[in-house]
Structure 1
Amino acid sequence: MEQEPTAATDVIRPPGPSGYPVVGNLVEFVRDQYAFTERCAREYGDIAYYEVLGRSFYQVNSPEGIEHVLVHNNENYVKGELFQESLGPVLGNGLLNSEGEFWRRQRHLIGPAFEPDRIAEYAETMVERTEETAAQWRDGAVRDVNEDMMELTLEIVADALFGVDVGRDVDTVASSLEVVMDYQEGLSADMLPVDVPTPGKRRLDRAIADLERVVYRIVDERSRNPGDDVVSRMLSVEDETGRGMSREQIRDEVMTLLLAGHETTALALTFTTFLLAQHPRVERRLLDELDEQLGGDPSGFEDVRNLPYLEKVVEESMRLYPPVPGIIREATDRDEIAGYTIPEGATISINQWTVHRDPEYYDDPMAFRPERWTAEMEAELPPLAYFPFSAGPRRCVGDRFAMLEAKVVLATLLQRYHLELVSDPSLDLVATITARPRDPVMMRIHERD
């Protein structure tokens, strides 16, 4: 499906899969979004075009094209209408959703919380919370590791960034987040406008109200007892006119940090333990490194910097199973990528999932091989052939926090326990904003001698 340029349009549209009248490629898209995007990349090259219910998508597949969108010409590509429809009701105008000068102001405000010196201070909290989780596990017990990781990373984010304990709110946040993600899957399936009063929308409204109660409790607690944390900083900041942030804007930023800050790291931990359980050779090599460097002691900030194989394990896990499998952007002005026209208002689809598994960039891409991450391999890899945290100005502000957290949690848990996979050795992933397992990831806990 390729449009030739004409004198009237001067538009060169990329090739792409044929679709049906009205619905376009909806059926194949909904049936398996991951397989569909992989097919578009494999069969149509650097950029592919498809339609879903009248909406046009331009799927950019080459690292060079992705770098153009996210880095070199990033000001032409905003989060856009589709992204706002999906996450706006939950995150409001928080850092993930906002644009332009307002986004730059908020990024400048929140950024210091993720500077290297602050990141180092969070390691102790990460260890303490992980040890509390480890103490609750029992030899021989079978647990849903994804559920455990979601709870653990939620508690770490709340403690480290907000200085509060959300232990009593874990179930509320978990169940509400499940509703939010179910709603995202529904949006992907039917593309209905967010203002259509479906049963799913009503459930979403209730879930958001429950999340807001947790968020406003955090804000109120920091208002009464300010400290050296992100929320206290937001409560005290003023612009050049002496105006501070509104309660609603603080709500949006806390909601963003609370949800985005724990969901993706929890998934990275789930996927990594899932892969290690099926690759005993990799697990053995990792344990040898942990034994040699830590000797059973907790892993602090400096310790994990001396665990190169652990870092490779996490990198390889996020290559095969990127917690955020795709990115959406909208063109604010006409552009050109790989010789094809990108019209103003076009929806751009960029997929870590497909690029990270592309054999053009990775030898034996479906194999879990942490040792592939050598200095030589990384030097030869195109810059945007690996981008689990996105890239450019909108790169995840918490990327260093997330990497430290993943390494600290894994180093702490794996020294004490071996995790045996007892559920399905393949993963059925839901296509939402994140790549979530559809079913529990069940593992039997074995205490190490």
Structure 2
Amino acid sequence: MTAPHGEPPGPEGMWGIANLADFHADPLGFVTRCAREFGDVVRLGQNNYLVCHPHDIESVFVNGQRSFAKATGQKPSSPKTGSYHFALMHTDGKDWLYKRRLLQPLFKRERVGASSESIVAATEAMMACWRPGESRAIEGDVAPLAARLVGRFLLGSELSDTEVSRVTSFLAWSFRPLPIRIPSWLPTPGSLRFKWSVRQFDRAIYGLIERLRERSRGSSNLLELVHQARDGEDGCLAPPWYPRDEVAIMLLAAHQPTAIALAWTLYLMALHPEVDERVAAEVRHVLGERHATAEDPDRLVYTSAVIKESMRLYPPVWMTARESLQECEIGGYRIAAGVSLALSPWVPHRDPRWFADPDAFRPERWLDGSLKELPKFAYVPFGGGARLCMGASLAKLALVLVIATVARRYRLTLASGAKVRPLATASFLIPQGVRLVPRTRL
């Protein structure tokens, strides 16, 4: 057995700030260049590595509870506005395991399937605002749609227009593009607007909790379960404001990737009319005149492949991280305790070793048998291992039903002059400038 090497190779960067400037200037291009130039484990800076090979990604995800942590550091001692550190997503160890087991029943197959009718109805309501020939900023349509779907599913109640507005406003200002990085303490118009959106979001969350508190007694929804966690077993870190943290993060984590995936998929279908027409033909053949149901994703094979290919090219969560808890070996390199490991689905998803012609949009690759030998963790739009996204089944169902419902009525084309680009935030790959024109399907 070969002894592990020392530090992996990587770009030198600038003294004092390592590679931060290059990363912030072009995050997607930077990680792509690093992987292709330096290999499957890349040193980005002191105690900061990029992990690119599917086998190593699998090792980190699968061994996550023993050797790696997602969240470390001191938890706040008060309910700080805009900080939700006690939510499941931001916890580890015994605390994470207890909350995960408690919340997992929310995503039972029968419960997910029962949401199909509301998904289709909400999509029809979204399209009722469309006018054939008028361009739409599609992010502005799918974000409220996803917020309503998630609110209904998790909380058992429709979000009000005000609550939807506060959720989507918070997201828009959280991930706004800036030409330069400005300290958050400077009272610029942008930072003031962001702080206002955070306060409004917190108001929406507290309002939701108050509105549902009495109505949800004994029912199986997120609010009832987080109250159980707050009053749960010894060792579970659940302060009095834990319900706020969990409701906020569940809404964001379930809503944002779904909205992003919908926007990218509709954009790619608009760019590729032959794909759009094949989806529409499949929908007509499978559904006829009826609405889509929870059983239809298995029948809408090509539509599902289109969504998988969209999430390969534009994974909604393009970056996540783990911190090593003890010395270990990754990709033949010795990793010390306390090292931050960046895991980016963007890199293996566009690696020619795993996907032929990786930058091309080819849904057929998921159907023609060419991916039979694909390593398991070369395609990870929902993460993997013990921390596989709990809401993956809900997201997959919603994506297929929304796309099928839109495709049966409208053909979407890219608006004249639209300039589309991906904005890579800390975690999400936000579509910018997606303006589409709905045209009635003949």
TM-score normalized with structure 2 length: 0.90
The 1:99/1:245 distance shift into structure 2, 3 A limit, reads closer
Matched, 1:231 2:223: yes
Q: Which residue of 2 aligns with 1:316?
A: 309
- 1:103 equivalent in structure 2: 96
Say whether the 8 Å CA contact 2:71–2:92 is kept in structure 1: no
**Secondary structure of 1:22's partner?**
coil
* Matched AA of 2:227: L
Which residues in structure 2 correspond to 1:30-429 (within 5 Å)?
A: 30-51=24-45, 55-72=46-63, 74-81=65-72, 89-166=82-159, 167-182=161-176, 197-199=185-187, 204-226=194-216, 227-235=219-227, 238-239=231-232, 247-374=240-367, 376-422=369-415, 423-424=417-418, 426-429=420-423
Q: Which amino acid aligns with 2:224?
A: S
Task: Give, in angstroms, the shift of residue 233 of structure 1.
Answer: 3.2
Deviations 1:35-76 (A, max 9, x none): 00001110111101022xxx5321111111111111135421
Which whole-Å deviations, capped at 9, do the CAs of 1:340-377 have from their partners, x for residues lacking one? 12111111011111110000000111111111013734
The superposition leaves residues 274-301 of structure 1 with CA deviations (integer Å, 9 ceiling, x where unpaired) of 1001111111111111000011421110
Does the CA-based 8 Å contact 2:226-2:246 persist in structure 1? Answer: no
Q: Matches of 1:126 and 1:83 in 2, distance apart?
A: 39
1:415, distance to aligned residue in structure 2 (A): 0.7
Structure 1 residue runs of 5 or longer lacking an equivalent are none
Q: CA deviation at 1:314?
A: 0.6
Distance 1:173 1:83 in 2: 27
Question: Could you tell me how far 1:84 is from its partner in structure 2?
Answer: 8.7
Question: In the alignment, residue 36 of structure 2 is paired with which amino acid?
Answer: R
SS at 1:264's partner residue? helix
Shift of 1:316: 0.4
Q: Do the aligned residues in 2 keep the contact of 1:34 with 1:431 (CA within 8 Å)?
A: no
**Residue 443 and residue 260 in structure 1: after superposition, are their counterparts in 2 closer, same or farther (change >3 A)?**
same
Q: Distance in 2 between matches of 1:448 and 1:313?
A: 19
- Percent of matched pairs sharing the same residue: 32
* AA partner of residue 47 (structure 1): V
* CA apart distance, 1:190: 5.8
CA distance in 2, matches of 1:395, 1:207: 30
Shift of 1:246: 5.2
Contact 2:34 2:42 in 1 (8 A): yes
- Is this contact kept in 2: 1:150–1:262, CA < 8 A? yes
CA offset digits 1:288-330 (Å, max 9, x no partner): 1100001142111012221111111110000000001111111
Alpha-carbon contact 2:418-2:433 (below 8 Å) kept: no
1:86-120 residue CA offsets vs partner (Å, 9 max, x unmatched):
x9943321111111111111111111011111111
RMSD across aligned C-alpha pairs, in angstroms?
2.7
Contact 2:421 2:433 in 1 (8 A): no
CA apart distance, 1:429:
2.1
Letter in 1 for 2:225: R
Whole-angstrom CA distance in 2 between matches of 1:109 and 1:100: 14
Q: Which has the higher helix share?
A: 1
Q: Distance in 1 between matches of 2:74 and 2:33?
A: 23
Q: Which amino acid aligns with 1:216?
A: Y
Distance in 1 between residues matched to 2:337 and 2:51, nearest whole Å: 16
Task: Identify if the C-alpha distance between structure 1 residues 235 and 83 changes in structure 2 by more than 3 Å, giving closer, same or farther.
Answer: closer
Contact 1:265 / 1:406 at 8 angstroms: preserved in 2? yes
Partner AA of 2:288 in structure 1: G
Normalised to the residue count of structure 1, the TM-score between the two structures is: 0.89
> Cα deviation per residue 1:381-430 (whole Å; 9 max; x = unaligned)?
00110000000011111000001011111111111111111153642423
Specify the SS of the correspondent of 2:56.
helix
Residues 63, 116 of structure 1: alpha-carbon distance in 2 compared, 3 angstrom cutoff:
same
Cα pair 1:268 1:322 within 8 Å, conserved: yes
Structure 2 unaligned runs (5+)?
none
CA distance in 2, matches of 1:128, 1:149: 14
Which 4+ runs in 1 deviate beyond 6 A?
82-85
Q: Identify if the C-alpha distance between structure 1 residues 234 and 50 changes in structure 2 by more than 3 Å, giving closer, same or farther.
A: closer
User: Once the two structures are superposed, what CA deviation does each residue of 1:118-150 show, in whole Å capped at 9, x if it has no partner?
Assistant: 111111111111111111211112110111000
